[in-house]
Chain A
């Protein structure tokens, strides 16, 4: 038995918004793989919950009118990984979320929950940052879309207003088209572990595959919230596809990130692995684009 004060089951998005307004103290629960665990630990014990888990309208992936990828917030990690549109356009996201927890966790965990937690270690977060995802929030007044970097306000804090729930995550076409990416999760175990540091890179090469047209990189656990590394992106963007560029790109990362000492790893260690992770991710992304490093 969970120590739940009240459980409100939303029957639609509109109903969820009504429940949010009626019960401002209540916590939203999607898959529950964080909320229920925290409740068991005592952190959220005795709280009211609003369950949105059964809202199937928030599941699935599609292309919208402008060919942006639209991912329903309750889409599970395992469904994301398997989805043909994800595999075709942003395979790295499917691969990144395939490293969350274990198989059963990937069946219950949702991409919306992963972002709404506001934790820096979320395996989806760095890739979503690197692809400049937009977070769609639906509230009493309507729908608003927030760039993911503005959605994260601080460790464990995200920009969800008292009447809102997150309904989708969008990846703009301009962001995903003609790109290949790679995610590297550095953790102590191969399964059921949280990233010590995570790095997601995606590149767009020139038609002759000799030049980096665009390079994007984002990290998890390199600061209080997931973050891009603009210095590193600038160091590689427009540069020739070469081992030197990859090297310079990796080294530039140190100037951008701000990891901390924690029981999982020290700041110095995180900085050290971040450089190598970025370099490897760039090299793998190039390979996936059919390019070759000289």
Chain B
């Protein structure tokens, strides 16, 4: 193959970066192997499970079915961007812990990045809307209810509203 390696400049978690990248690599490959963003998990690798989910220019994508070369000029955010200056967890990460929305943890980074996209719209969503927005992720441990509750709780916290009690 000619031009197997191509120069890709992009912004990763707020920092401008550049690298020669194998054009056969998926974005998951590049983020994990070249940048050690190991929150980006390799699950199904066919875009079904959502474990490799990252935010590209404000929207969620399964990085396993996204070519690394397409990252050129994009702003990419992974779970690592949520880390506070002294290693603090973000509100949504803490909510996942508080609500026991984590068991094995493999699906968690993907779920949290989708939660970030949801939370950053600043809107209030119904349970059905949240379920639909979270539907691109598979979790084989918790059964989703705790995950939904963690996202919902954080949503109301950020909106400064009390969380409605279940009826």
Bound form: Cα–Cα A33–B26 in Å:
12
A36 at the interface (CB under 8 A from B): yes
Measured CB to CB, the nearest residue on chain A to B73 is A54
- Residues of B within 8 Å of A51, CB to CB, are 67, 69-70
Among B29, B48, B53, B133, max chain A CB count under 10 A is at: B48
Q: Is the CB of B23 within 8 A of A37?
A: no
Give the most central of A9, A101, A104: most B CB within 10 Å: A104
Determine which of B2, B29, B46, B66 lies in contact with A108 in the assembled complex, contact meaning CB atoms within 8 Å. B66
B47 neighbours in A (Cβ, 8 Å): 33, 36-37, 101, 104-105, 108
How many residues does chain B have at the interface if contact means C-beta atoms less than 8 Å apart?
A: 30
**Count the A residues whose beta carbon is within 8 Å of the partner chain — how many?**
29
Contacts of A7 in B (CB 8 A): 23-24, 67, 69
Docked pose: A1 CA to B53 CA in angstroms:
17
Partner of A103, one of B22, B65, B69, B114: B114
Q: B46, B61, B132, B137: which contacts A37 (Cβ < 8 A)?
A: B46
Kindly state whether residue B82 has any CB partner on chain A within 8 Å: no
Instruction: Using CB atoms, name the residue of chain A closest to B54.
Output: A104
Say yes or no for A78: interface residue by CB 8 A criterion.
yes
CB contacts (< 8 Å) of B67 on chain A: these are 2, 7, 29, 32, 36, 51, 53
Whether a CB of chain A sits under 8 angstroms from the CB of B62 is yes
A190 CB-CB contact with B under 8 Å = yes
B65:A108 contact, CB within 8 angstroms? yes
A6 within 8 A of partner (CB): yes
Query: Interface digits, A91-115 against B, CB 8 Å rule (1 contact, 0 not)?
Result: 0000000000111110110000000
In the assembled complex, the CB of A103 is this many whole angstroms from the nearest CB of chain B, namely 5
For the complex, would chain A's binding face be called helix, strand, loop or mixed by DSSP majority? mixed
With A and B bound together, what is the CA distance between A160 and B132 in angstroms? 35
CB of B10, distance to nearest CB on chain A (Å): 13
Separation in Å of the B164 CB from the closest CB of chain A?
Answer: 23
**Nearest opposing residue in chain B for A49, CB measure:** B67
Q: Would you call A36 and B60 a contact (CB within 8 A)?
A: no
Cβ distance B105 to chain A, nearest Cβ, rounded Å: 19
Q: How far is the CB of A74 from chain B (nearest CB, A)?
A: 12
For B109, list chain A residues within 8 Å (CB): none
With the chains together, A2 CA to B59 CA distance in Å?
A: 23
Closest to B22 in A: A1
Q: Which of B24, B50, B70, B114 contacts A1 (CB 8 A)?
A: B24
**Inside 8 A of A190's CB, which chain B residues have their CB?**
132, 135
B9 at the interface (CB under 8 A from A): no
Q: Are B135 and A37 in contact (CB under 8 A)?
A: no
A1 to B1, CA, bound (A): 14
- Shortest C-beta distance, A50 to chain B (Å), equals 12
* B-binding residues in A (CB < 8 A): 1-7, 9, 29, 32-33, 36-37, 40-41, 51, 53-54, 78, 101-105, 107-108, 190-192
Q: Would you list 6 pairs from A and B whose C-beta atoms are within 8 A, ordered by A residue?
A: A1-B22, A6-B2, A9-B69, A51-B69, A104-B61, A192-B135
